[in-house]
Structures are given as structure tokens and as C-alpha cells.
Amino acid sequence: MAKKEAWGLRTRFNSLVALFITGVILLVISVSEKTGIWLENLIRCETSGGESATSQCNLSSGRWVFDNESYPLYSERKCKYMFDELACEKYGRPDLGYQNWRWQPHECNLPRFNATALLERLRGKRLVFVGDSLNRGQWVSMVCLLESSIPSAYKFRHYKINGSLTTFEASEYNASVEFYWAPLLVESNSDNPVLHRIPDRIVRAESIIKHARHWSDADILVFNSYLWWKRAKMKIWWGSLDQNDGIYKEMEMLRAFEMALNTWSYWLDAHVDHNKTQIFFMSMSPTHQSGGEWGGNWEENCYNETEPITEGRYKHRASDDQMMKIITEKVDGLRERGIKAQIINITELSEYRKDGHPSIHRRQWTPLTEVQLSNPKSYADCVHWCLPGVPDAWNELLYAYIFSK
């Protein structure tokens, strides 16, 4: 009888232990799942223009914090791939504080950019930026951020230019970070990466294969297209641009822009790997060409500006918001069709940085006139961005999004 009772006690004890272990396992699984979801939400914004975020954190809503201890993330003079249009220190900018501002979201911290971790994530893959000179600036920023982690013996061997495609290769990772010049995304008369200053812009809004064949197999695609569309009307061409055998129609810019984005989204839906490819569209990069846009003097621009905007609100033009609405609709449509597509909202954080442009401190491709020299703000570049600077923050956001997948 005693043996039976002992056996019964052991059985009940073992059952309780088993139930306890099962409960612990279920609790661990539950916590892990919730933690995974929380971490993903922490660094992921929704696609609706990047303006509505998850309940955890909106990376695009925050403030600039002066940080001269951990920023800049690289040296302008030490980056061998710096472009002269972005090298403000090289071209005599006396104040360097623009390099020391760090973007701080209100409700969380951006993950620290880790070049080695990103290169490991890119092992055997292609990261391709497609767009205009602003997107090229982001690409230069990314290359400068990454090259510091690549052994010096490889730094000069794996950089090549082939027409519109410029490639930085990290051969030890079998990875490439590329930029493809396509300022209007679809085919246009502005497709030459050097000779592209064409005021009379013509686009083939239904043709993208000339460009897309160079990047349709990329693993990560980062697009932008905005400034080159900024005109009241656009000429849409049906036929070959090389031969005068087509017809064209002048359209309202927004209608032409929508046609081009339709072509872009249809191509991606049909040709990229839905299971593999990550697609990001950068929202519009603001210019600071008139002080009235941030509550200042309308006659002033970014010339001599050395501090970010701290008060007031940047004024958007109606067409800007309408363009972003079109982009949002197309990106949301891609997501509905199973493509990993997302908008990264860089607009708000960039609006504060009226101090971040090259102004007069950049290479000038044509000699300046005496009239220009007498009025420096007349030739100040308030469109592009100094490096190190604002595009580094764009890449910090991109880094967070890449690692959220």
C-alpha cells in the first residue's frame, strides 16, 4: 500500500513538473513572439506617406540634437568616394557644425548604424539606389558610411562607372551598393548621367525597360523622384526619343507623374521577386530656397544659414502633397499585391535643416559671373546636402527599416 501511495505521489509530482515546464515553454514562446513583434514595430512606420506610424514609434517624428562626440559618422576628407558637389568643407565652408547634428525620434532611439552588420546583411546581395542627384547623394553617404569597415587594401579596386550605373563593390562580402541615374524613373530626354540639364523635359511615361533591366534583380531597391517633375506641364512622348517618329502631348504635371508611377509599379509587380526584394521610396527632400517657407524673409535662402529651424512650420506647396499622395497610393498598391514596399518619410526631419545645404561651398561646373559673385545667395545651392550631413540620417532610417524585416 505504501508503495502504491509513493508511486501515486511520484506520478502526481511528475505531472505537476511536466505542466510547469510546459507552462514555462509556452510563456517563453509568447514573450518571444511579443518581443519580436514589439521590436519590429519599434523601427517600422506604416506606408501612408510615412506620416502615420505604429503605436510604438514614428521614426520620422523627432528633433535634431547637437552631438559632437559621436557625429559625424565619417570624415568628408577621408571618404575616397565623396563628390565635389557635396564636399562643403573642402570648398571652404567655415562652420562645420552641420556635421554634428543627430536625428532623435521622440519615442525611441534609432539603432546605431553598424557598417559591418549591414555589409553582413548585404552579403551576396545588391542594394541599388535609383533616381536623381538627391538619391545619388544618399548613395554617396551610404558608400562613405560603409567604406570605413572595409579593409584598405580593397578600397580602390571595386568602384566602377558604366553609363548610368555606378557601382561600389565590397568583394569580400560579394555585395554591391549601386546608384542608377533615372531622375524621372521612366525613360526621358534627361537620362544622360552627365549631359542632362534639359529645360524642355520630355518623358516616355509608359516606358521603363531601358532603366529597369539594370536593377530588376536587386535585393534592395531605394527610389526617389520629385524635383525633376517640378513644373506646371510635362511633354509625354509616344515613340522613340532617338528618332523623330513619335507623337507627344503636353499634360498637367500631376497627370504625367501618375502615369509614370503606374508604369513603375506595374513593372515592379511583374518583374521583382515578391518573396525577396525590399523596395523603399524616399519621400520628397525639401529645398530651402526662400526664407518665407520657414517663417523668415522671403528674399533670403539657405545662404549663410548655420542653425536648424527650431520654431515655426515649413510650408508645403499643394503640388508637393499631391505628388506624395500619388506615391503613397502606388506603394500601398504594391503592398496589397504582396510586394515588400514602403515609403520612408525623410521630409519632416529634413525640413528643419536649412543649414545643411552646400550653399556656395561646392564645386561650380560653370564659371560664376561678376553679377553672381556680387550676390552669393543668387547661386547658393539650397537643394542638395553637404556630407557628412542630412543624408546620413536618411540612411540611418533606411538601416532601421532593412533590419526590421
Among residues 191, 219, 355, 381, which one is catalytic?
381
Interacting residues of 369 by C-beta distance below 8 A, sequence separation 6+: none
The length of the chain in residues reads 405
Buried b (16+ CB within 10 A) or exposed e, 167-189: bbbbeebebbbbbbbbbbbbbbb
Residue by residue, pLDDT tens for the chain (405 residues) are: 444 444 454 555 455 545 554 454 444 334 333 333 333 333 333 333 333 333 468 999 999 999 999 999 999 999 989 999 999 999 999 999 999 999 999 999 999 999 999 999 999 999 999 999 999 999 999 999 998 777 765 654 577 889 999 999 998 899 999 999 999 999 999 999 988 888 889 999 999 999 999 999 999 999 999 999 999 999 999 877 776 777 889 999 999 999 999 999 999 999 999 999 999 999 999 999 999 888 888 999 999 999 999 876 777 676 789 999 999 999 999 999 999 999 999 999 999 999 999 999 999 988 999 999 999 999 999 999 999 999 999 999 999 999 987
**384 catalytic, yes or no?**
yes
Determine phi and psi for 45, rounding to 5 degrees.
-105, 155
Of 205, 181, 206, nearest to 191 by C-alpha is 181
CA distance to 132, 179, 311, 341, per residue, from 192 (Å): 11, 14, 41, 28
Given this model, what pLDDT does residue 7 score? 46
295: Cα within 13 Å, side-chain hemisphere: 9
The residue annotated as part of the active site, out of 133, 190, 285, 359, is: 133
What distance in Å separates the CA atoms of residue 30 and residue 24, rounded to the nearest whole number?
A: 10
Using CA atoms, how far apart are residues 398 and 400, in angstroms rounded to an integer?
5
Q: What span, in angstroms and rounded, lies between the C-alpha atoms of 233 and 66?
A: 42
Name the residue with cell 514602403. Answer: 342
pLDDT for res 39: 31
Do residues 395 and 113 lie in contact, with contact meaning Cβ atoms separated by under 8 Å? yes
Query: Choosing from 164, 191, 384, 392, which is the catalytic residue?
Result: 384
pTM of the model: 0.85
> CA-CA distances (angstroms) from residue 391 to 65, 127, 327, 398?
16, 16, 20, 10
- The three cell numbers of residue 404 are 526590421
Non-local CB neighbours of 240 within 8 Å, separated by 6+ positions: 246
Q: DSSP state, 359? A: B
* pLDDT given at position 310: 86
Residues 234/250, Cβ–Cβ less than 8 Å: yes
Buried b / exposed e along 83-116 (16+ C-beta atoms within 10 A): bebbbbbebebeeeebbbbbbebeebebeebebe
Q: What SS3 state is found at 62?
A: strand
Residue 251 burial (10 A CB sphere; 0-12, 13-18, 19+): middle
Residue 369 has which C-alpha cell?
559671373
Q: Look at residue 14 in the predicted model and tell me its pLDDT.
A: 53
C-alpha cell at 294: 520657414
Question: How many degrees, rounded to 5, is the angle at CA 308 between CA 307 and CA 312?
Answer: 125
